Structures are given as structure tokens and as C-alpha cells.
A = this chain, B = another copy of it.
Amino acid sequence: MFLLKPACLVLFLISSALSQGDPHPQSLTYLWPLPAQFASGDDVLSVDPALTLSVAGNGGASPILRAAFDRYRRIVFDHAGYGYGYGFIRKLRERLPLVSVTQYDVVTLNVTVHSDNDELQLGVDESYTLVVPKAKESSQVTLEANTVYGALRGLETFSQLCSFDYTTKTVKIYKAPWSIQDKPRFAFRGLLLDTSRHYFPINVIKQIIEAMSYAKLNVLHWHIIDEESFPLEVPTYPKLWKGSYTKWERYTVEDAYDIVNFAKMRGINVMAEVDVPGHAESWGAGYPDLWPSPSCREPLDVSKTFTFDVISGILTDMRKIFPFELFHLGGDEVNTDCWRSTSHIKGWLQNHNMTTNDAYQYFVLKAQEIAVSKNWSPVNWEETFNTFPSKLHPKTIVHNWLGPGVCPKVVAKGFRCIYSNQGVWYLDHLDVPWDEVYTAEPLEGINTASEQELVIGGEVCMWGETVDTSNVQQTIWPRAAAAAERLWSQRDSTSPQNVTLTALPRFQNFRCLLNKRGVPAAPVTNFYARRAPVGPGSCYEQ
């Protein structure tokens, strides 16, 4: 057993992978995303299907930990064990030269969580240490973390070390002993889900959140409403969800709270978005006064107090549902033609001596003020920064999307930045192959440590125009997982020259792991994302 930084390990292993010509070379480490530091050996351990959880530390009694352990036990032991069913199956197999397993090597998972604080916020400590013993040395696997969220990440890693051995019908851990010290590279590792262009049932959102936890993503950016539909209940302005497609395509306050809670149990924050002043036509279905006019419906009417009353009401209600300290205020793609062409707004602009651009800035800053007054850090799409960089609230986090090179400018001005360059991290761009997603680099062009620290992370965006319940998950997966490794793993361990050798087999393996867990992740190497496999074949090669 020897401790190596993964980069060295990977280089060391390339030649053996090549010589095997195996699509799934045993020499690689099949963990996704790759841990910060790890070492392994050559032992094989069996894991008791009655694996028990033993806890320690101030946070050991957390119900979040208990629930996660139960979930992962179901995942790890997803095959019916030897002799499941009736006696006749045992009889059926009597003639087989089965390895008799009466004693298992691993019987306990010992988890220590030092802190009893389970508040989930940006930058929460997600580090953990996972130790799997040598054969015969101990029957305990130990997992140690400062917070319960670190323990969740460690449980995911543990589950990926376990695999079902079809010969003995037991779960095995190969390459033991393992020593893993892990922590994320970025604090913000997001996925945007757009529930306005198509409505996603609660069930489906939960499936997506569950799968995010497998890839160690930790922020669901919930783009709840947009111009096409307003599915969310807002108790203060109860007519707003008249803007939903139908009365069945809605989220109650309870639904939203349920999603936040479901996500928290998996260490995932929910960052809600209310995209103003553009992308808001649907608001007027319930309150037509929010439209500049019935025939010119976007952006929201900047001239009315009522507009900001409604925004304030929405944010007041949402503050009680979304505890995450970041709140997304949109601000993108604002076409101010309706302001210019509607006479009462035109008059208002003249009275206030404003251009439409001034009014755009006025609107965004006023919305920021409301959010900040509710103790939120406002997030805005990059157009706000591109248009009036010096005016934004200093707490603003700028969300890049239009192209490369934006975060360098943002952090140079002292703002924080989220990287979502659409050329590589917009999942609705179906022609971006997995390796371009994988090799995208949020810190590209940012060279000083102090500026690098202002890039809090990145996010892949699943816009909803051409995805609904039937195809959203295979459009998200597996490519979102390519970004997830970029965001979790150390830069030097994941940027070697030949990702076809160092990452592709691991990535295909992770896609098959998602499939096994019931997630419909698409073939990896299709030129267009989410396309059907071209013909019969193994998951591990498609």
C-alpha cells in the first residue's frame, strides 16, 4: 500500500491499460469523481449483507446520516443474495462449486461525524476520510468527517468501492486496503433545472436530485418560473400560478419545501431563481398589470410600484422555503422594446430621465436590494455585470453563460463568479461531446490565488425547451457527471493529456453505475447526447 497523488498514479497506469486492450482496465480506479488522495492494495474483502452502522462524534446521531446509510445499503445490496426465495433455489445450486461464505470480512461501517451542526450552506465542510482495512486486519470500515455532509460524500465513495460478485453472490471490495482523503475543489457544484418550459413532477425532480448526489453535485439551481409558465404557488400573490400550463402542472409551497428537504437529506442546496425583469411574461396571467400592456408583455413593467411589491412578496414567501444563502435574480436577455413602445412607461422614463438601459439597471438593482434585505446573496446572469459592472451590489455573484473569459473579468472586479460557459456546460447543446464537457476549466485565465478563490464553482444548465419527463435525465446524464468530476476533483489529477485513457473507462463505468441504480444515463460516446445506442452491445462500451 502506497500513497500517491492521483496524477502520478494515472500516468503510471496508462501503459498497462493500453496493453490489456480491455474496455474496463482493472488498473484504473473506478471512483467518480476521483478523490483528492487515495491509495489501494490487492486484497479482496466480502461485505456482510447485514452490514451495520456504528456511529460516533457529536454529529453521529444525525437522522440525515442514518437515512443515507439505509439508502446506500439498498444500493450496495441491490441483488438478491445467494439462496433468495425458496428452498428449491438452494437445492438448484447444490451441484455448484460455490465458495461457501459463512463469515464476511466487513461487518460494520463505523462513521464519526465531529460536528452536530447540520446547517447546509455554501462552503460547508464536505471533506472525509475513508479507510478500508486489509483482509483479516479488522471487520470495520471507518469513515470520518467534520460534518454529516462530508459523511454523505464518504458513503457515496464507499458504495462505489462495493461491487456484486456474480460467482459467490456476495458484495466485494476489491483492491483493499483503501485509504482515501477527500474534499471538493469547488464549493458550488450545480445543475440548473428549468421547470417553466416543461413541468417536471415532484417525483422526477427527486430522481434528479438523488442522481446528483451520486456525482457529488451539491446545488440544484431551480429555474422555477419563466415566460412560458409560472408553476409555483405564492401565498402572498395567489393568482400568480394561474400562469401554470394547467391546474395539474403546479408546485405547492409544501411541494417546494418537500424538495428542499429531500435535497438537504442528500447534502444538496436548492438555489431558487426568479428571473427579472425579462423572462416573466407568465406572471401576467394572474396579474395583467405586471405587463407593460396586454399586447407587449415583457419585461415586467418597470414603472409600477406594484411590480416591486409583487417581487418583494414572492421573495418574502420564498425566503421561508429556501434557506440557501444564494438566490438567483436572473437579469438575462432583457429586451426593453416594450418599455420603449408603451406610452405610460415611455412617459415614466422621461419623467425619471432614464434610458431603457438605465431602467434595466434600476430594475436589477432594486431587485437586488430586496433580496439583500432578506439576507440573501444575489446571483445574476452575466449581462448585468457586462452592462453595469460597477453598480452591482458587492455581494453579487455573477453567473457566466455567454462564453469563455467572463469569470476572469468578474473576479478582477472583486465579484464572485459561477462558471457555466454555454459552449461546454449547457446540456441542451446536444453536440458537445463528453470530453469537451470534461476538459472545460472554470479557472481558465485566472492566475492569482486570491482571484481564483472568487470562482465559487460551476454549474451545468439543463434548459427545458426540448426536455420533459421523458428525456430530461438522459440529457443530463452522463455529461453532467463529467462536469461534476471537474468541479470536485483536483485539477492536476483530472487534466492529463489523454482523457480517453485516464477518464473514459471510468466515465463509462460511472454511466453503467447510474443505469444500475435506475438512472437512465445515455451512452457516453454517441456524437449527439441522449441518442439511442447504435446497435446491440455492452453498457461498458457504448
Contacts and interface: CB of A to CB of B under 8 A. Distances in A.
A198 interface: yes
Interface string A91-103: 0110110000000
A79 B202 contact: yes
Contacts of A537: 198, 228, 245
Contacts of A257: 80, 84-86, 89
B93 A471 contact: no
Interface string A60-92: 000000000000000000111111111011001
Contact of A515 (B82, B204, B473, B532): B204
A15 to B, nearest CB: 23
A469 B539 contact: yes
A245 B536 CA distance: 10
Contacts of A466: 532-535
Nearest to A81: B254
| Chain A: number of interface residues, binned into ranges | 35 or more
A197 interface: yes
Nearest to A515: B469
A166 B236 contact: no
A254 B518 contact: no
A476 to B, nearest CB: 11
A369 interface: no
A538 interface: yes
Copies in the complex: 2
Interface string A247-261: 111101111011001
A80 B522 CA distance: 31
A439 interface: no
B201 A515 contact: yes
A473 B520 contact: yes
A465 B246 contact: no
A352 interface: no
A464 interface: yes
A431 to B, nearest CB: 14
B95 A539 contact: no
Interface string A217-238: 0000000000011000101101
A517 interface: yes
Contact of A532 (B248, B255, B467, B540): B467
B468 A533 contact: yes
A320 interface: yes
A82, A93, A469, A473 — most chain B CB neighbours (10 Å) = A469
Interface string A190-221: 00000011110111100100000000000000
A359 B85 CA distance: 39
B258 A166 contact: no
A542 interface: yes
Contact of A530 (B164, B465, B470): B470
B468 A89 contact: no
A49 B278 CA distance: 40
A343 to B, nearest CB: 31
A431 B458 CA distance: 40
Contacts of A521: 469-470
Nearest to A23: B246
Given A24-B246, A198-B539, A516 B254 contact: no
A109 to B, nearest CB: 23
Contacts of A540: 245-246, 248-249
Contacts of A199: 538-539
A539 B536 CA distance: 32
A525 interface: no
B469 A520 contact: yes
A169 interface: yes
Contact of A80 (B78, B254, B520, B533): B254
Given A80-B252, A89-B320, A228-B536, 4 more contacts: A198-B537, A204-B515, A248-B540, A471-B520
3 closest residue pairs by CB, A with B = A245-B538, A197-B536, A84-B254
Interface of A: 24, 78-86, 88-89, 92-93, 95-96, 163-164, 166, 169, 196-199, 201-204, 207, 228-229, 233, 235-236, 238, 241, 245-250, 252-255, 257-258, 261, 317, 320-321, 464-471, 473-474, 512, 515-518, 520-523, 530, 532-540, 542
